[in-house]
Structure 1
Amino acid sequence: MTGTNRKLEGRQEAVLRQMKGLGLRRQSRSYATNLYDIDSTSQLTIASDAPFEDTTEYGESTVLPSVDCGEYSDASYSEPNDESVSPSTSFSSGSPRAAFQSPAGLSSEDFEFLQAHGLERCSPLKDLGQGGFGNVDLVQISLPSGRNFVAARKIIHSPLYAQARYERELRGLVLCAECPFVVDVYTSRVTEDGQFEFLLEYAPNGTLHDMLKAMEQRRRGKDKLLMPVNRIQYYTACILVGLQFIHKRGQAHRDVKPGNVLMAANGRPMLADTDSMDSVTVTKRAGTTSYQAPELWRASLQGPGYTADKADMYAMGITLAEMTAYPAGGNGKLQQLKDDPVGNTPAYVPADLKDLICGLLAPAGKRLTVEQAISHKFFEGVDWEGLKDGPLGINVQLRQAP
C-alpha cells in the first residue's frame, strides 16, 4: 500500500501515537509515513555508544588492552599522478588491493592478510550503530604477527544500496586514502548473497554529532559558545582540509554534516560516508535535506543550477553553526540562522567566526570556496601542518573499553 494508506509499523506507529497524544493530529499520519522513507534512505554512521569525553576538562580513562587501532601513515597532499585513481574509475568487488592504504606500523605481511582475509576472519566485539541500509560493528582480527587489530565493519544489506552505489562509496574512500581527514578503508567485498561489506578505520570517539549533543547538555542552556574558540577552529580546519583534498580532485562529498564526521582516537575529525561523492558538476540533488544548499532545490526545476563543491561549503556552514551555537533540533533557532545569518547569529559569537559562518551560508555566487575559507582571518595562528596530530597531540580515550 502507498501514500497515507500505507500500513505503519514499529517506529512509525510509535511516532504517530506520540504526535496524536500531543494534539498534533493534522498531517501526523503523513509525517509518520514520510519518516519511513527518510529512515529507508538515511546515511549509516559509525558511532560509539560510549559518551564523548573531552579530556581537556575531565579525568582518567581506560585504554583498549592489547588491541591496535589503525591510524593513518603520514602522507603528502601531492596531486595524483597518471597512475593514480581517476575520479571516473569504477571499482568492483575485485578492485586491486594495492589501492588501499596501510595503517601506520603494520607490516606488509599483516596488511596483505588484512586485505585478503580481514572480513572473513574477523571476530565481532560489539555493535557500533545501525541505519536504514545496514549496521556497523567493532571487530577484531588476529594478524599473522600475533597482533590483534580492531576495525569497524560496515555491512550493507538494503535493496536500495546497489552495486553502483557500492562502487561510488569505495571509489571515494580509495581516492581519499592519503588524506588523514577522511576515514580510511582497509578492504571491502561483495558477498555471494549480494551483501556489501567494508573494513574501515575504527573511530572510538563516535561522531561529531554525538560530541555536540554531549556539549549541549554540558552548556545547560547558557548563552555561550558550545565549545572554546580554539576547538571550533581545529574541527573546522580539519574538515575544510578534507574537503579541499576532495575538491582538488574534481569531486564533492555532497553529504557534509556532523553525523558524517567521525572522531578518531586522538580527537581528529574525519569525513565518512562517501557513497554520495560525485563530480562537482553533477546536478542531481543528493545529501541530507536540512543541509542542502538553496540552489539544489531550484536545480531540479531549472536544469543545471549549481556545482556540488559550493553545496558542500553551504553544508559546512550549517555544520559550523551547529558547532558554534545550535546543534540540530534546537528549537528552530538553527533554521532562523540559516534564513538570515547576519541578523540571527547570536551576539556571543566572535566577529571573525560570525563572518566565516555568513560567508559559508551566503548565496552561491558569493559563497566562500574551500580555499577562501581556509584563508579566512578566523584561522589566524592555526598550525595547519599539525592538524593530523589532534587537538591535544595525544589520544583522546574513552572512559570504558569495548
Structure 2
Amino acid sequence: MTGTNRRLDDRQQAVLKGFRGLGLGLRRNVRSYAHNLHDCDSTSQLTAADSEFAHDDTTENYTLLAEVAEYSDASYDLSGSEESPSSSSSTLGAPQLSYQSPTGLSPEDFEYLHSHALERCTSLKELGQGGFGTVDLVEITLPSGRTIAAARKVIHSPLYGQARYERELKGLMLCAGCPFVVDVFTSRTTEEGTFEFLLEYAPNGTLHDMLKAMEQRRRGKDKLLMPEHRIRYYAACVLQGLLFIHKRGQAHRDVKPGNVLMSASGRPMLADTDSMDSVQVTKRAGTTSYQAPELWRASLQGPGYTADKADMYAFGITLAEMAACPAGGNGKLQQIKDDPASNTPGYVPADLKDLLCGLLAPAAKRLTVEQAMGHRFFVGLDWDNLSDGPLGFAVQLRQGP
C-alpha cells in the first residue's frame, strides 16, 4: 500500500509539473501578443474586444446616399487663435457620397441606424471633450436586437458653423469605405444649433495617447519609442489614408498624432476632416506645430501652396514623434524639424532617417505620398493586408490600475 501511494504521488507530481509548464507557456504567449500589439505601456492589459460589439464580416454591407452641399467660398476659424483656412470648390465634380454601415447590418437595421440612432442611442461614457464639444461612447439597440457601439461627436461651439459641418461631413463621406479613415454612420443638426456625428468607435484611443504612454515607459533612454517594424506598420497605414485622400484631389490639412485614431484591431485611422480641402488652397490650416514652412509664406508671396505636400510635412513630424521625440518634450523635435539630417538621434535607423529627411525637405524636394510609399524603409511590407491590423483580430488596450 505504501508503494502504491508513492507511485500516485509521483504521478501527481508529474501532472503538476506539466500544468506548471503549460501555465508558463501561456503567460509567455500573452506577453508576446501584448508586445506585438503596441509594445508601449507596461500597465496595459490586452483583452478581446467586446463580442456584443463585434461585426459579422460574412454578410452584406449597405450604404445610404446623401446630399451634401459643395464646399462654399466662405472662410472660417479653425479653432480659437489657430489658423483660418478658406474653402474652395471641390475638384471632384459630383462624387457619390454615402454613409457607411457597420458590417453585417440588415437594410432595416441600417435605415434605423441612419434615421434614429443619434436621438435614441444610450451614452455609456465620455471619451473626450474640448472647446468645441464632446465625444462619448454610445450603444444603439437595433430593431433586430443587435447592439452596436459608436462614438457620438457633439459640437456646440459658435466657431463651428454650417459650412464647417458640411466640410467635415463631406470629407468623411468622401473617404467612405477606406479602412484608414474613420467611418461616419450618420449625422444631423439640431434645433438648438448643435452638430452631431455618429462615428466608428476606436477603442484604443489616439496615436498621441500611445506615444505619451511609450515616452513615460522609455524614461529618457536613447532608443526608439517602439520597434522599427511597429513604426513601419503605423506609418504605412497613415500613408494609405493620405493616398486615398490625395488621389481624390483633396488634402487632409491637419495630420498629427491626435488625429490618428486606433481601431479595435490596432489599425490607425485618420480622423477630423473638417480642414479637408482641395490640393490648391491659399489659406493656412491645421495645427501650428505641424505646419510646413511654406504655409507661413503663402500669404506673403506666390499664389499659395500645395496642400498635399503640406500633408507630407505634417506626416514627417508625426513620424519623427513615432520614432524618437513626442511633442512637448525637451526641444529635440524642433531640432529635427530645423535640420533632420544633423539632428535626428543616432539610434534612428538609417533608412528611417533618410525617409524623415525626404518628408521634412523643402516643398520642391519633398516626397509625395507615392514616393514615400516606395521608399526603401518599406521594402518587404505587405501593403495589401495592412487593414487586418497588427495582430489580425480585435483587441483592446486598457489601462491597468
With structure 1 as the length reference, what TM-score do the two structures score?
Answer: 0.79
* 1:355 match: secondary structure: helix
The Cα shift of 1:393 comes to: 1.1
Tell me the amino acid that sits aligned with residue 174 of structure 2.
L
Tell me the amino acid that sits aligned with residue 116 of structure 2.
H
In the TM superposition, 1:276-355 aligns within 5 A as: 276-355=275-354
Cα RMSD between the aligned structures? 2.6
Tell me the amino acid that sits aligned with residue 226 of structure 1.
L
Residue 102 of structure 1 is matched in structure 2 by 101
- Larger Rg belongs to: 2
* 1:154 match: secondary structure: strand
- Cα distance between partner residues in 2 of 1:337 and 1:73: 47
Structure 2: 5+ residue stretches without partners? 1-33, 73-95
Tell me the amino acid that sits aligned with residue 169 of structure 2.
L
Cα deviations by residue, 1:44-74 (Å, 9 ceiling, x for unpaired): xxxxxxxxx7664578544454531569999
Larger deviation, residues 101-110 vs 65-74: 65-74
The Cα shift of 1:399 comes to: 3.0
Tell me the amino acid that sits aligned with residue 383 of structure 1.
D
The Cα shift of 1:305 comes to: 3.1
- Cα distance between partner residues in 2 of 1:174 and 1:356: 31
* 1:223 match: secondary structure: coil
* 2:377 match: secondary structure: helix
Tell me the amino acid that sits aligned with residue 321 of structure 1.
A
- Cα distance between partner residues in 1 of 2:45 and 2:153: 30
User: Given the superposition, is the C-alpha separation of residues 55 and 375 from structure 1 closer, same or farther in structure 2, using an over 3 Å criterion?
Assistant: closer
- Cα distance between partner residues in 1 of 2:214 and 2:356: 20
- Cα distance between partner residues in 2 of 1:373 and 1:74: 36
Cα deviations by residue, 1:313-343 (Å, 9 ceiling, x for unpaired): 0000000000000000111110011000000
The Cα shift of 1:108 comes to: 1.8
Residues 313 and 368, structure 1, Cα contact 8 Å, conserved in 2: yes
The Cα shift of 1:140 comes to: 0.6
User: Given the superposition, is the C-alpha separation of residues 170 and 380 from structure 1 closer, same or farther in structure 2, using an over 3 Å criterion?
Assistant: same
- Cα distance between partner residues in 1 of 2:59 and 2:253: 26
Residues 55 and 102, structure 2, Cα contact 8 Å, conserved in 1: yes
Residue 361 of structure 2 is matched in structure 1 by 362
* 1:304 match: secondary structure: coil
Residue 162 of structure 1 is matched in structure 2 by 161
Residues 87 and 250, structure 1, Cα contact 8 Å, conserved in 2: no
2:206 aligned with 1:221, yes or no? no
- Cα distance between partner residues in 2 of 1:195 and 1:225: 43
Cα deviations by residue, 1:295-314 (Å, 9 ceiling, x for unpaired): 00000112423110000000
Tell me the amino acid that sits aligned with residue 131 of structure 1.
G
Runs ≥4 in structure 1, deviation > 2 angstroms? 53-67, 69-75, 83-90, 398-401
Residues 250 and 276, structure 2, Cα contact 8 Å, conserved in 1: yes
2:208 aligned with 1:209, yes or no? yes
- Cα distance between partner residues in 2 of 1:99 and 1:390: 25
Tell me the amino acid that sits aligned with residue 200 of structure 1.
L
Residue 138 of structure 1 is matched in structure 2 by 137
The structure richer in strand per residue is 2
The Cα shift of 1:219 comes to: 1.1
Q: What percentage of aligned pairs have identical amino acids?
A: 74
User: Given the superposition, is the C-alpha separation of residues 354 and 311 from structure 1 closer, same or farther in structure 2, using an over 3 Å criterion?
Assistant: same
The Cα shift of 1:112 comes to: 1.1
- Cα distance between partner residues in 2 of 1:205 and 1:137: 14
Size of the aligned set, in residue pairs, is: 337
2:226 aligned with 1:235, yes or no? no
Residues 54 and 396, structure 1, Cα contact 8 Å, conserved in 2: no
- Cα distance between partner residues in 1 of 2:330 and 2:142: 49
Residue 254 of structure 1 is matched in structure 2 by 253
Residues 181 and 270, structure 1, Cα contact 8 Å, conserved in 2: yes
Residues 262 and 270, structure 1, Cα contact 8 Å, conserved in 2: yes
Tell me the amino acid that sits aligned with residue 149 of structure 2.
V
- Cα distance between partner residues in 2 of 1:367 and 1:87: 33
Cα deviations by residue, 1:30-56 (Å, 9 ceiling, x for unpaired): xxxxxxxxxxxxxxxxxxxxxxx7664
With structure 2 as the length reference, what TM-score do the two structures score?
Answer: 0.79
Residue 148 of structure 2 is matched in structure 1 by 149
